[in-house]
Structure 1
């Protein structure tokens, strides 16, 4: 360790602070036991923070190890072991064994259930300790525990300080070890950690046992401080003391428990001397910190000096080598003629819903193989079965000739099956370097190594730099992943996927939310990676898929309808039907005749200009202009993934604008909340209906009713079928009936504009006709924006249409023009391979 590292080491600062408090207390002539207690509770809090800050688990009852180890130390010393130091060691070992048994059981649950289970264990231990008087002393506890090795309070105090500082050094080494860095990956993104090959359950069990060791050590020290042990440390009133201190000091700071313990114990000591109701003073202090400084005392100090960052680990990365080794793929030795991945009759069923139906697929090395299909085709479900997120109902998955159908996700990752996710999946609170290094570590050494420095492994560091350079992020290696632009985050996710020595890359919508310049960069990288790996790609940017793919498979309604070269797939009649909605079975919905509104005859109701919006730094919509007039019906069309639902979310205020403006009936919507926008007269019929399943049809409607909206009788007149089903619970309705309730519910408020997101999705043709007739009846009464995947269903009943392509308006005009121009529909909405797309 260099001089700079030594001066920044938290153990040094902890020793200076505790030594300073010791000298202050001695100079005041105050009992030194208070500072001893602060040191003990500092280590207690740091042990708890190994779970909270580093692993993402919140134990309400870590006191079970604190209290039980306290009793264990007392039993050992009062029994046949007179050496107090040896008694402490045995108490720690007891705590480790107890934690292994309890952790193996309660870590099968997480979140609130895990927290409550730890509290329940602590309370059980309290009841035993408080009522088993013959063994534990009951209410009076066990007293007269000899402290033979320490003649005075000061000598014991110095021993505690040394022991606590040594414990802090050990904990600092643990959190910088491969094991400790793996814990932080689990904290940030459990699913991503599994996908890299980490066994999350074992990691959590390891951290739980280590936490118990530090907490048990603290409990044993407290026994010798008090020279006795009492049951109250196990009670629910004190179960959360260490957690409270940790939160008060700052859970995202290594020394947070130190500042929390000092504050809590000194305030408790001073305030309780003033009044027995000292919590009435202390509780408001906690409330203020929770509201004003969620990062605790250390976070508040950082804010005051203008430099905020988590201090759970060092803020540096290993030095960049003078020459970065070129990236070499682990897959280059594969036989190009032998499939690396094969599925045989792979099927998935959720109850009566079939999302994958006997899918047969082969993926070969050095081929960019894309999977496309309309919304709801089953693409992500298929990926989830391939990678072990979901277990198939039937069928088999083979990887490099071996069946992996029942292997868990982390085991498949270790074989070389790397995956990216539809929703960006990285470790946001780790640096770009650490994101990739964790993935390299996962494949090479896993989480082995409790005492070595993770950044000292030169081979892993060199591989990390090679991958960062390959994806173009070497210059941004030190930046936190959450601070990278969205395009760089997508590149980082691909780098993380590569880092597990992946032979097969399963990329789920890597171009989603990217600006055009970033799309070009990422698509070019994918094309290059396919020359050295097998790549299976899901992507909604059909034009670019056709341009870069070697092979394309098409899923529709859970089954494979086409597989072949891009040109063959683009001409396939079934594929054209799936994307453009042509009937395949002779039965189809038929649009009723309507009289279209001619031109701009009514006042503008909603005007959106230059709106740009995205998710988490992504860009989904860019420079979109929309105009809706009073009583007008407008279709919003586009392939899946182009931003249609995002547009509706922007209009309803549930997604804030990055740029642009939206006005409705002369009111600026940019600063209004969703419920305020709804009260102005904009109602949303969401995709998936989202009814209240345990309420009846009537109750669902009345819950939304406000003066000025339609009445129940009008709702039943609009949808006669609902009259006979008005007493039925929503969960017992058919899909079509639920859609009818969702539309009627939107009208129960005084709506001027109704936004309908995929109102015909999943409905039988006869039911589509019923819903369509209702929408025709609404024409002129309210304005409507209808998002629909099948253009042929909606174009005949609307006045105008907008078509989105990659987040921008590619067509805005009369619906009749688009309805009768099949070539334009095919180009904007279908699967068409052109020379232009090949050059993209």
Structure 2
């Protein structure tokens, strides 16, 4: 899961994608990574068994599948969709309707297969909409998907029998028809179901990047004219990629339906599409494991930071802007950038500069927090005259000193951080020069 999803492992010859094989060492490395991932996932509910933790883990598992499905379009296919939540929501509606039929005795299907029903339903819709929308790419494609999302969201009020109106559709996951020895009445049982589907989906999406379709999706992304010249139809490649992305988004929607036992029209709207875009970009679209990092990181922040401050969306927006400007490859890119230094055993030479930069960075961030919280308190609080508390310290938001302190922390911290960043840059240049000189 740490391999670039571009066509590095294949070369196009005579209209065919010829994949490079895996060595024994590579297979052992991947097996170790997957085994570690599985063991950590199984151990989490044993270590953190609170209701909040289980709810967070379930949401993370769903978000991982959803984010990876989105990256099948953005990272691998070069297609920016503003309506990917359509398939997430429609997969949820498909699964919840099947669950309701099971509850009413009209259908017998294992609870564990409900996400598959959601995936199939979303894939059918994805093929139809993908055939239409993927005739264009870039900005026209993004606008078409946005229009489709808003169209279906508006249609939810016109089709209450399917969408359930404003209240949505609810079901009961507690059934006797199960494969595993679970009734799915407890969150930990749902967690294990989400975990199974998450690993199956992650493995399937990773293997798809190694198929001719996955490689050609990269080729069409990079140069659709060249791909067409060697005999591939970019429209067909995009349509199939779009359909598969819709399928896995539908699986995520089906898991959502089981987890919450309810699906509403909000699952189709722009908010989930924006959230998944943020998760994917912050995690990193270049590497396969980037959306996984983004889904875990953003889900954690959403649940934790939103309980601390009302300005959490503003912080997320600032973080998104900073990542796009200064770390366009996301968290995964930041990690992989250190790979040659780690292999050369030079990490100890750049860590001190990081620690030096961390202190003014925290000071600058503290200034941002003070100013943002003051402005939000004055603008949105019912009683702006009431004391504002930050980290246990209470003060009047309208007073001069808090404003002066925030500006001072931001200014001084920013200036010192700029100086520290130069030191980090110099440390990088020195280490890279040593690695190049020694040929490590």
Q: Which band: TM-score by shorter chain? A: 0.5 to 0.7
Distance 2:68 2:35 in 1: 15
**2:99/2:171 contact within 8 Å kept:** no
Aligned-pair Cα RMSD in Å: 2.2
| TM-aligned CA distance change 1:34 to 1:272, over 3 Å | same
Query: Which residue pairs with 1:75 in the alignment?
Result: 97
Query: Which residue pairs with 1:111 in the alignment?
Result: 138
| TM-aligned CA distance change 1:259 to 1:17, over 3 Å | farther
Higher relative contact order structure (alpha carbons within 8 Å, sequence separation ≥ 6): 2
| TM-aligned CA distance change 1:186 to 1:134, over 3 Å | closer
Mark the runs of 5 or more structure 1 residues left unpaired by the alignment: 309-840
1:292 counterpart (323, 326, 330) = 326
Q: How does 1:93-242 map to 2 (within 5 A)?
A: 93-130=120-157, 132-148=159-175, 149=178, 150-151=182-183, 152-242=186-276
Query: Which residue pairs with 1:18 in the alignment?
Result: 41
Distance 2:299 2:118 in 1: 25
The alpha-carbon deviation at position 265 of structure 1 amounts to 0.7
**2:83/2:269 contact within 8 Å kept:** no
**1:141/1:228 contact within 8 Å kept:** yes
The number of aligned residues is 307
**2:115/2:252 contact within 8 Å kept:** no
Query: Which residue pairs with 2:57 in the alignment?
Result: 35
**1:14/1:165 contact within 8 Å kept:** no
The alpha-carbon deviation at position 112 of structure 1 amounts to 0.8
The alpha-carbon deviation at position 248 of structure 1 amounts to 0.7
Given the two structures, how large is their TM-score scaled by the length of structure 1? 0.35
Query: Which residue pairs with 1:47 in the alignment?
Result: 69
The alpha-carbon deviation at position 155 of structure 1 amounts to 1.7
**1:245/1:257 contact within 8 Å kept:** yes
**2:99/2:114 contact within 8 Å kept:** yes
Query: Which residue pairs with 2:429 in the alignment?
Result: none
Distance 2:138 2:270 in 1: 19
Distance 2:272 2:52 in 1: 25
The alpha-carbon deviation at position 130 of structure 1 amounts to 4.4
**1:11/1:168 contact within 8 Å kept:** no
**Does 1:266 pair with 2:293?**
no
The alpha-carbon deviation at position 260 of structure 1 amounts to 0.4
The alpha-carbon deviation at position 21 of structure 1 amounts to 4.1
**Residue-by-residue CA offset, 1:202-223 (whole Å, 9 max, x unaligned):** 1111101111111111111110
The alpha-carbon deviation at position 45 of structure 1 amounts to 0.8
**Residue-by-residue CA offset, 1:387-430 (whole Å, 9 max, x unaligned):** xxxxxxxxxxxxxxxxxxxxxxxxxxxxxxxxxxxxxxxxxxxx
**1:66/1:233 contact within 8 Å kept:** yes
Query: Which residue pairs with 2:19 in the alignment?
Result: none
Given the two structures, how large is their TM-score scaled by the length of structure 2? 0.65
| TM-aligned CA distance change 1:132 to 1:187, over 3 Å | same
Distance 1:78 1:164 in 2: 23
**1:65/1:219 contact within 8 Å kept:** yes
Distance 2:149 2:271 in 1: 11
More helix by percentage:
2
Distance 1:160 1:177 in 2: 26
| TM-aligned CA distance change 1:158 to 1:85, over 3 Å | closer
Q: Report the 3-state secondary structure (helix = DSSP H, G, I; strand = E; otherwise coil) of the residue aligned with 1:122.
A: helix
Q: Which moved more, 1:2-11 or 1:44-53?
A: 2-11
| TM-aligned CA distance change 1:101 to 1:61, over 3 Å | same
Query: Which residue pairs with 2:16 in the alignment?
Result: none
| TM-aligned CA distance change 1:232 to 1:29, over 3 Å | closer
Q: How does 1:537-556 map to 2 (within 5 A)?
A: none
Q: Report the 3-state secondary structure (helix = DSSP H, G, I; strand = E; otherwise coil) of the residue aligned with 1:138.
A: coil
Distance 1:6 1:160 in 2: 26
**Residue-by-residue CA offset, 1:713-746 (whole Å, 9 max, x unaligned):** xxxxxxxxxxxxxxxxxxxxxxxxxxxxxxxxxx
**2:96/2:171 contact within 8 Å kept:** no
Mark the runs of 5 or more structure 2 residues left unpaired by the alignment: 1-21, 343-440
